[in-house]
Amino acid sequence: MSRQLDEAHEHLERLGVKDIEEYPEIVSGAGDTDTREVYNQLLDAVETGRFDLVVVHEISRLSRLGPTEIHEFIQHCLEHDTGVEALDVGLKIHVDDGELQQTIYSMVARLMSDLAQIEHQQKLQRIRSGVRAAQSAGKWTGRPPAGFVVEDGYLRVDPAEFLHVREALTRVDRGESFATVAGDTGITESTLRSLHQDRRDLYLGGEAEDDRVDEALTDVRPLEDVRAEDSALEELRERVERLEEATGVNNR
């Protein structure tokens, strides 16, 4: 960002402009609330007639704020007697340009906006393709499960952490309450519930449907299957939790 600002300042100095205001980071992303707020501040300043000229370093990036934003921004500036210059493409649209020239430049800007959108979609497609290719090659592309780490793109077991999680889930599976185990192990109750519901077979039985996870488990195999077989344990655990909650209320 500092380089872009320096180049914009140098350009304005060559034009003999001394009264300069900066509106940085106005195109960092459409979902960025601060970005939109700063951009709106610039639009408001243009509307009040504060500026004769707005210089942007990369006008094509305005398309991140909307597919028609480049064209609308230029029109907004011209309607309020403010010229626009873009350093990245050498675009110069001034208030004293003829109507035909302004129209041509606006058409060029609209085309740039369309091309920027196409480029953005192509970039997203390349990212998605890269993720699929990495997954096909056995690489892990997301956040690893609890007790696992990613090394050189591949999933590996962190033995100490994995066994810590396994022990906690074993206690839960055998009837201890989530709250008690969470307090003893430091693993949050919500995490324990999620792991027990979604990945019980992984931690207690050493079973994984994902080949990448299954391959990583070879570091800690053989693993004894510690899944509880008593179907009444879930009901027992709920009764224990209700009893603990009732006791906690009575002790207050």
Domain holding 79, by residue range, is: 1-134
Q: Read off φ and ψ for residue 198, nearest 5 degrees.
A: -100, -25
223 has a pLDDT exceeding 50: yes
- Domain boundary (134, 162, 197) is at 134
Write 198-206 long-range contacts (CB < 8 A, 24+): 199/145, 200/169, 200/173, 200/227, 201/227, 202/145, 203/147, 203/162, 203/165, 203/166, 203/169, 204/166, 204/169, 204/170, 204/173
Q: What is the pLDDT of residue 106?
A: 67
Residue 143 belongs to a domain:
no
Give the whole-angstrom CA distance, residue 68 versus residue 158.
49
Give the whole-angstrom CA distance, residue 247 versus residue 31.
47
Question: Is the preceding peptide bond at 24 cis, omega within 30 degrees of 0?
Answer: no
pLDDT band at 193 (very low <50, low <70, confident <90, very high): very high
Residues 31 and 115 in one domain: yes
Tell me the per-residue pLDDT of 90-146, one tens digit each, with 9 for 90 and over: 778 887 877 766 677 667 766 666 666 666 666 667 666 666 665 666 788 788 999
Mean per-residue pLDDT over the chain, rounded: 79
Residues 80 and 112 in one domain: yes
Residues 227 and 156 in one domain: yes
Q: Read off φ and ψ for residue 86, nearest 5 degrees.
A: -115, 120
Residues 201 and 117 in one domain: no
Residues 192 and 169 in one domain: yes
Residues 115 and 165 in one domain: no
Residue 252 belongs to a domain:
no
Residues 157 and 128 in one domain: no
Structural domain tally of the chain?
2
Tell me the per-residue pLDDT of 164-178, one tens digit each, with 9 for 90 and over: 999 999 999 988 999
Q: What is the pLDDT of residue 203?
A: 93
Residues 109 and 180 in one domain: no
Residues 55 and 84 in one domain: yes
Of 29-43, 212-226, 234-248, least confident by mean pLDDT is 234-248
Q: What is the pLDDT of residue 44?
A: 93
Residues 68 and 193 in one domain: no
User: Any idea what the CATH number is for the domain that residue 66 is in?
Assistant: 3.40.50.1390
- Domain boundary (106, 134, 162) is at 134
